[in-house]
A and B are shown apart, each in its own frame.
Chain A
């Protein structure tokens, strides 16, 4: 898991430098935002000259999935004091969620024993946090020594391609991806790079439409 985080963090650091972000600000983003995919997306859009509104909207949409994680893990954290819940919420990333929810589901709470599973969650979350900060710093350090003609920032869209093949598992996700990429070409002329946000929303609608179509044909199929 950590092995996957390190190149991500370094890539973000290198990409941030290529997009002209000051070093301290790039590291600040890793601490405040602490969401790898969104940070890579921000860097990619800044490099393409996008404005505040499209970048903010895209990052806000992309991070919406954390609401799902929050909803899913909430029942296990209900007994904890507020400071614990604030801290664990801050550490709730894709990876921390995956590890913690598995742990919570695999080890049921024993009657009469203190529930210490949140320490496990905290341990994973904090380790991931530290790894992310350090790998960002490493990327920022090495990024300056890499000449621009190496096109190292092309590794960012390549990362998205790799993630896409993992995400396009069912028809609705495939429809969302295809419609969003077509939408980028159709809406490219919109000002402030708003075309990207419009294209993503277009993709979401296509995904929802395909899911609905799938359900309807499943219902009529079972009726036969």
Chain B
């Protein structure tokens, strides 16, 4: 992606994000959100993060490479275990990176 296109994209995302933030505070202060939108917002973050992780692990250049015994999926599995036990971001990153180096060395 060229720099001017990226600049325009970031500007558009920034403007949209500001509109979200200002919408209810400034523009529609006397309205409330419809219930379905309220419900939908709760699933956006888990769906997006899960999709990104799955894409990083199993998709390479538009092709599905479903290999569980590769360094990155194995390291991600260890990281998920640590995340589930500790509920912390920093221990998860530390364990995941350490596991990645270990599996790259072993495999």
B47 on interface, CB distance cutoff 8 Å: yes
Q: Chain A's nearest CB lies how many Å from the CB of B50?
A: 4
Please report the C-alpha to C-alpha distance between residue A29 and residue B56 in the assembled complex, in whole angstroms: 23
A155 on interface, CB distance cutoff 8 Å: yes
Partner of A158, one of B20, B59, B87, B92: B92
Q: Are A69 and B55 touching (Cβ within 8 A)?
A: no
If over half of A's interface residues share one DSSP class (helix, strand or loop), that class is named, otherwise mixed; here it is helix
Q: Chain A's nearest CB lies how many Å from the CB of B35?
A: 11
Q: In the complex, which of the residues A185, A193, A195, A202 has the most CB atoms of chain B within 10 Å of its own CB atom?
A: A185
Q: Are A183 and B13 touching (Cβ within 8 A)?
A: no
Partner of A165, one of B22, B84, B90: B84
Given A32-B10, A38-B17, A71-B24: A207 and B50 within 8 A (CB)?
Answer: no
| A-B contacts, CB under 8 A, total | 266
Q: Which residues of chain A have C-beta atoms less than 8 A from B69's C-beta?
A: none
Instruction: Tell me how many residues of A have a C-beta within 8 Å of chain B.
Output: 94
A176 on interface, CB distance cutoff 8 Å: yes
- CB pairs A–B below 8 angstroms (21 shown): A22-B3, A29-B14, A48-B55, A61-B48, A64-B41, A65-B41, A90-B22, A151-B100, A152-B97, A157-B57, A158-B79, A159-B93, A161-B53, A161-B83, A165-B87, A166-B87, A173-B42, A195-B59, A199-B51, A203-B51, A211-B39
Please report the C-alpha to C-alpha distance between residue A183 and residue B43 in the assembled complex, in whole angstroms: 15
